[in-house]
Amino acid sequence: MKYLLFVYSFLNLLISLTGCGSDRNANVEDAGCLAETLIEDQVMGTAVHMVLYSDELNKSQLDKAAAEALEEIKRVERLMSSWVEDSDVSRINAAKKGEWVEIDRSTIDVLANAMLIGAITNKAFDITVSPLVDLWGFGAKSKGPFSIPSDEEISEAMRTVGHGKVLLDIGNSAVSLAEEGMTIDLGGIAKGYAVDRALSVLYKNGVDQAMVEVGGEVGVIGKNKDREKWCIGVRHPLKRGNFLTVLELENEFVGTSGDYENFFVVDGVRYSHIIDPRTGRPTTSNITSVTVVGTSCAKVDALATGFSVLQYEDSIKILESLPDIEGIIVRRAGDGELDIYVSEGLRRKIRLLEPATTK
Ligand code: AMP
Ligand code: MG
């Protein structure tokens, strides 16, 4: 039995390009007239994958659409990466206290969205954690190997944290940071935004079947090769190679966050790359995996990061309060056990490969 024709394996997700489980040979043959373009690249310090199908556009039109979408992802990187010297983010971070920096409309759009997600998550998502991300060894300005900073270093870095210190002039597309030494980091939202932009370029080019993934943030247009919903497998955070569930998506986005890909361990304590802005330290929520589904990739990307910071119960409360958002939140419960929460709207749509805890 031919189960999966192509399988792409990413950080927290696995994407099947054909049906979700049954024998699809007949459908694959039916789909023989589809033009197909696959792209794999490295952008924003991470893997980019794109898959496009069309029975309206020919192969060269599809290739052109894919190339334009990839160029758009690279444009987002040039604007928003802390690793690119003259990006908008690097210019903002290099500016003096109170100085206004003119930035691209896309960057101000992401900043405004980041502020919104900060408000929704009770300040758990906060782009001004940047000096702390550097201090704990996960940022563009980090010096050397991972180590635990002193309390003094943490409180000094905490001085500049808070969205209230980011001033936006939306009309003039300008931003100003209110404290000396303050910096911002869009690592928790820019990949999702790049997916949003890439999909909008594909739409504009008439593509109606596509999947775009940037570093674990995914967006799908229409149906897959078999003209069925796209199948996105959510990785099991503890059992390598296993999956918690498979999401079936159409015209939706998935954002993920987890503490099991980017972390270091000292004396048996795990220090994750996600920083709690309230303590200046890696999150201690014990949330190990967050998957958020919605209609904007920037939003689901940032929400997934924010939910990783909050206490399990608080993340669940916010998740259920957002009408257009569904998700799965997984917490380490000790002794290798997991608490798995699936939002109400998602419960009837998916089958968990482990029993869920509904609390
Ligand atoms: P993700 O892997 O999408 O959850 O994003 C994690 C990245 O977001 C980190 O590598 C940091 O660059 C950044 N980050 C870490 N903590 C936070 C936070 N509390 N709020 C916003 N961004 C954060
Ligand atoms: Mg994120």
pTM of the entire predicted model:
0.92
Q: Which DSSP helix (H) or strand (E) runs through 215?
A: none
Decide: 129 in ligand 1 pocket, CB within 6 A. yes
Centre of ligand 1 from the C-alpha of residue 139, in Å: 10
* Contacting residues for 345 by C-beta, under 8 A, at least 6 apart: 326
Instruction: Read off the tokens for 206.
Output: 């008439």
3-class DSSP state of 264: strand
Decide: 10 in ligand 1 pocket, CB within 6 A. no
Query: In this predicted structure, what is the pLDDT of residue 1?
Result: 24
Query: In this predicted structure, what is the pLDDT of residue 10?
Result: 54
Residue type at 318 in one-letter notation? I
Instruction: Read off the tokens for 124.
Output: 């758990």
Query: In this predicted structure, what is the pLDDT of residue 283?
Result: 92
Query: In this predicted structure, what is the pLDDT of residue 327?
Result: 97
Taking 50 as the pLDDT cut, the residues of the chain under it are 1-8, 22-31, 359
Nearest to 154 by CA among 137, 166, 140: 137
Secondary structure E strands in 131-242: 166-169, 174-177, 209-214, 217-221, 230-235
What order do you get walking across the sheet with 243-249 strand by strand? 7-9, 13-16, 230-235, 243-249
Query: In this predicted structure, what is the pLDDT of residue 27?
Result: 43
Decide: 292 in ligand 1 pocket, CB within 6 A. no
